[in-house]
Chains A and B, each alone.
Chain A
Amino acid sequence: MNPLAIIGRALLDFLAIVGRLTRFLTRSVKMCFLPPFYPRQILRQFIDIGYFSLPVVGLTTLFTGMVLALQSHTGFSRFDAESAIPTVVVLSITRELGPVMAGLMVAGRIGASIAAELGTMRVTEQIDALSTLSTNPFKYLVAPRLIAGTLMLPLLVLVGDIIGVFGGFLVCVYDLQFNAANYISQTWEYLEISDVTSGLWKAAVFGFIIALMGAYQGFNSRGGAQGVGTATTNAVVSASILILVTNYLLTGLFFAGR
């Protein structure tokens, strides 16, 4: 094959995937707003995505906050700027590291489990069976996961933010001999509401992406256990990459012109 044909084929394949994904996305989002709703399913996803991800997100942000304090201390102590550490910690955590770290961890945990569950349902014809029982699979399976992903991730990140800042506090106060009251007041000093809310908006977008990629890959998995395995990998990889890319774009959007 000549090189032009290869490039052309790759481009067409890419466009086909974007097209399918867009169709999947519009159809599932529409189903989030059309009755009937399935409260049992939504509740189950709230618990799965929100509650059971707490330990992972908490641990991740705790150590992120701790290492952040340690690293900025080694840097800032070279020019006597230790007093900036609390601000650096809280801004980095709320704006970037909280949502991104939580997003990536949840992508691994939840993206994979959604893809595996829906993929298994696809290859064992359970999704076909739903249709024959007057239940729209998009409404019953995809919509609850999208709703729960979008609503739960901001909550997780809010908790993660607090734990992350607390991690920085622990290191500074117990390891680096900072004054606890000073640390707390400096944490608040330069923090603006928008620092936190921008991170939470990001989290909502990440939660949506995670659930969408998991559901999309699961729904389109083919051919038994191996197909489900591939779908799971693809879901985690594609969600992680999309999270990093949209994080950059959203940061540009939120903090442009400041």
Chain B
Amino acid sequence: MTSTPKIELSGVTKSFGNKTILRGFDLSINKGESLVIIGGSGSGKSVTLKCILGLLDIDEGSIKVDGKEAAHLKRGALDAHQSKFGMLFQGSALFDSLPVWRNVAFKIIQSPHMSTKEAKEHAIETLASVGLTADIGDLYPAELSGGMQKRVALARAIASKPEIIFFDEPTTGLDPIMADVINELIVKSVREVGATTMSITHDMASARKIADRIAMLYEGRIIWHGRKEEIDNSGNPYVDQFIHGRAEGPIKMQVRKA
């Protein structure tokens, strides 16, 4: 493989105060590839995505996007860097002062070539693709159920067809059928737009469906990564324990015994 990876992280470290979250995170993702990160709760998956986006500043290491250094950017360059991304936040992060359709159309409506009417039509179409009807568009985020908010957030992340899309737990809180619809949609948006995606999920069915490659984060490092077909024969006891959801194994949960 000679082409430069779309995203390349090497030796990334990040701490909050004296709590170290990432301790030498190495990973690269090729253009058009779909990577799923798995790992325990609180292991730093969401933090990793925010570091790549430049929402959090890393301590050491380098993050390259399209071969260009993207860590520690100044304001102007940071704006340009962030405009390549779409992100579905774990907590949805919808703008509660705006109706749903304005949330979805938030980025595209700012383009000078787009009238308000066209933007609204586009928003309604995008909402339809995540299984929401047009009348939802005029409601406010607080009037929606958690799963509906998640789908609106998903629509907002993909509406502008960004080059790179991050999905932070896209199917958490959805019923199994809707979860599968969302999985299909993620796969489709990667194929259609050629987007590069990074997703976080705890749902192994979803991971198997959307991933080309799976990487496992444990104690601040990627301890295993490989093609999704290889995950059942990873030979890595941590991965085995995680994908089978066993309490016994090398990963010890920080739970105090009574």
Chain A interface (Cβ < 8 Å from any Cβ of B): 27, 36, 117, 121, 124-126, 128-129, 131-136
Instruction: For chain B, residues 71 to 104, give those with C-beta under 8 angstroms from any C-beta of chain A.
Output: 75, 79, 82-83, 85-87, 89, 91, 93-97
Assess A132 versus B85: contact at CB under 8 Å? Given A125-B91, A126-B95. Answer: yes
Considering only residues 132-158 of chain B, those with a C-beta below 8 Å from chain A are 156
Q: List 28 A-B contacts (CB under 8 A).
A: A27-B75, A36-B110, A121-B95, A124-B93, A124-B96, A125-B89, A125-B93, A126-B93, A126-B95, A128-B50, A128-B53, A128-B55, A128-B89, A128-B93, A129-B87, A129-B89, A131-B54, A132-B55, A132-B82, A132-B85, A133-B106, A133-B160, A134-B79, A134-B82, A134-B107, A134-B110, A134-B160, A136-B79
For A117, give the chain B residue with the smallest CB separation.
B97
Sample of 20 more A-B contacts, CB < 8 Å, known A126-B96, A129-B94, A136-B75 = A27-B75, A121-B95, A124-B91, A124-B93, A125-B89, A126-B93, A126-B95, A128-B93, A129-B89, A129-B93, A131-B53, A131-B54, A132-B53, A132-B85, A132-B87, A133-B106, A134-B79, A134-B110, A135-B107, A136-B79
Q: What residues of chain A lie closer than 8 Å to B50, measured between beta carbons?
A: 128
Within the complex, the shortest CB–CB distance from A159 to chain B, in Å, comes to 28
Minimum CB–CB distance for A41 against chain B, Å: 10
Chain A residues in 8 Å Cβ range of B83: 134
Query: Cβ of B95: which chain A residues have Cβ within 8 Å of it?
Result: 121, 126, 129
User: Which residues of chain A are near B160, meaning CB under 8 Å?
Assistant: 133-134
Q: From residue A141, how far is it (CB to closest CB) to chain B in Å?
A: 11
A121 to B89, CA, bound (A): 13
Q: Mark B191-223, 1 if CB is under 8 A from A, else 0.
A: 000000000000000000000000000000000
B residues with a Cβ closer than 8 A to A are: 50, 53-55, 75, 79, 82-83, 85-87, 89, 91, 93-97, 106-107, 110, 156, 160
Count of inter-chain pairs, beta carbons less than 8 A: 49
Q: Which residue of A lies closest to B89 (CB)?
A: A125
Chain A residues within 8 Å of B75, by CB: 27, 136
Enumerate chain B residues within 8 angstroms of A131, measured Cβ to Cβ: 53-55, 82
Tell me, rounded to whole Å, the shortest Cβ–Cβ distance linking A77 to chain B.
54
B107 to A133, Cβ gap below 8 A?
Answer: yes
Residues in A whose Cβ lies below 8 Å from that of B86 = 132
- On chain B, the residues within 8 Å of A124 by CB distance are 91, 93, 96
Report which of A125, A128, A132, A135 forms a contact with B110, defined as CB distance below 8 A: A135
> Which A residues are in CB contact (< 8 Å) with B91?
124-125
Q: Which residues of A contact B107 (CB under 8 A)?
A: 133-135
Closest chain B CB from A135 CB (angstroms): 7
The minimal Cβ–Cβ distance linking A200 to chain B, given in whole angstroms, is 31
Name the contact of A135 in the complex, choosing from B55, B106, B156 (C-beta under 8 A). Answer: B106
CA of A17 to CA of B87 in the docked complex: distance in angstroms? 32
The CA of A24 and the CA of B156, in the complex, are separated in Å by 29
B156: chain A residues at CB < 8 Å are: 133
Q: Is the CB of B94 within 8 A of A126?
A: yes
Chain B min CB distance to A123 (Å): 10
- With A and B bound together, what is the CA distance between A36 and B110 in angstroms? 9
Most B Cβ at <10 Å: residue of A121, A129, A131, A132: A132
